[in-house]
Amino acid sequence: MRPLRYSINISLDGCCDHQAMAPNEELHHYAAESIAQADALIFGRVIYELMETGWRPFAETGVRPDWMEPWMEPFARTIHTAKKYVVSSTLDRVDWNAELVRGDVGQAVQRLKQEPGRGLFVGGVKLPLALAELGLIDEYEFVVH
């Protein structure tokens, strides 16, 4: 059975909005290493779209946007190649090495956890809250910066 790990970046004042704060080089390297250890990532629609918009273009073209530092490249490549499951009732399809998860999220995640492997990672706020309420998260990691 694969464990489900919830990891979130949070500032000392409680902010966890990736658009309001930027993790530094050390956190990017740590996140890339952590993601590389997971069999797959589980995202809700909001986090999936945020990550895809931010990291996919560079990973596919090699052209860094103005906001992206060179030390962010390993994270972009790692998240790009990671297997993703996207929980959404509004998206019609996903294609960034991702599979759409519909229906009962608890049953779907429980099935994913039953598969052999090293583990699953979940990020964001709303989806992890729902999974926590169902008792499906095995490990919590709060990366404070």
* Of 84 and 142, more confident: 84
CATH of the domain at 78: 3.40.430.10
Residue 21 pLDDT: 65
**pLDDT higher than 80, residue 18:** no
Number of domains into which the chain is organized? 1
pLDDT tens digits for range 44-77: 999 999 999 999 999 999 999 999 999 999 999 9
Residue 9 pLDDT: 78
Confidence of residue 117 (pLDDT cuts 50, 70, 90): very high
**pLDDT higher than 70, residue 129:** yes
Confidence of residue 20 (pLDDT cuts 50, 70, 90): low
pTM here is 0.91
Distance CA 93, CA 89 (A): 10
**pLDDT higher than 80, residue 145:** no
Looking at the chain, the whole-number percentage of residues with pLDDT higher than 90 is: 81
Mean residue pLDDT across the chain: 92
N-term to C-term CA, the chain: 32
Residue 13 pLDDT: 73
**pLDDT higher than 70, residue 43:** yes
**pLDDT higher than 90, residue 15:** no
Tally the residues of the chain: 145
Structural domain that includes position 47: 4-144
